[in-house]
Amino acid sequence: MAGFCVGWTENRAYSRLLHTLLEQLAPHLAAQGIHHLHYSGNDVENDWLHDVLLTQGFVPYRSLYAYDKFDYRIPTQGNQQVVIRPFQEPDIPALINIEEASFEDLWRYDAVSFHDIAATHPYFVVAELDGKVIGYQFNALDDEYGYLVRIAVHPSARGRGIGARLMAEAIRFFEKARVIRIMLNTQDDNIQAHRLYEWFGFMRIQQVGFVLRKNL
C-alpha cells in the first residue's frame, strides 16, 4: 500500500472511505494469493496515516532506522578478490537466490523489479567471487543527495569482506557524483548491517520509520 488520498470536499470522511476501499480491495488481493497488506512510512511520529491505519486492522510489524553520511571516508577496501561489475540480465537468477536467502517476502525483489532497477538507477553492480555472483548493490541520486538503496550478500558468503567491498565502491560512486549527503534505511534488528554502516561513518538519526501489516 503506497498511500491514500481523498478529495478536499471528502476529507472529513476519510476514515470511512478508507475502510470501504480496504474492504473492497481485500478479496481481490486474496484471490491472487496475497496474504498481507503493508504500509511503510518514514516517520512514526508525524505520519498521519499511521494512526488511521491502526483503526483499520493494521498492526505494527517492523521498525526502520535511517542513517546519514556526510563524507567520503572509506575505512577499508573490503575483499579485493571480489570482482565488482555492472549488472547484466543473466545475473537475475543469482540475485533472486540472494533475495530468497536474505530477506522475508516483504522486502524481496523479483525479476521484473531488477529490470526496472537496471533501467532507472544510475548505479547497479554485482559482486562476483570465483565466477559466482554472491552479492549486489544499487544506488539512486536526487540532485545533491545520494541514496544507498540496497546492499545484499548471500548468507553463505558473509563475513568475508564482500559487504565492505560493495560499500567502498558505493562511496566512490557517490564521491564522483559529488553528493553532499548519503542516506539509507534498514530494519532495526539488522545488527550486522548496522555495524557495517557505522564502520563506514554513517550516523543513525532520531527519526524512526515503520511498517504496518494487515492480514487478509
**Could you tell me the sign of the dihedral formed by the alpha carbons of 213, 16, 208, 161, in that order?**
positive
Q: Could you give the domains of the chain?
A: 8-64 (no CATH), 71-179 (3.40.630.30)
Assess contact for 187 and 62: CB atoms under 8 A: yes
Look at residues 82, 211, 63 and name the one whose alpha carbon lies nearest to residue 153: 82
- Alpha-carbon distance of 175 to 148, in angstroms, equals 13
Look at residues 100, 89, 113, 194 and name the one whose alpha carbon lies nearest to residue 155: 100
Cell, residue 122:
544510475
- Alpha-carbon distance of 59 to 55, in angstroms, equals 9
pLDDT at 178: 98
DSSP state of 183: E
pTM for this entry: 0.84
pLDDT at 9: 46
- Alpha-carbon distance of 118 to 190, in angstroms, equals 26
- In this prediction, the residues of the chain whose per-residue pLDDT falls under 50 are 8-9
pLDDT at 86: 98
DSSP state of 98: H
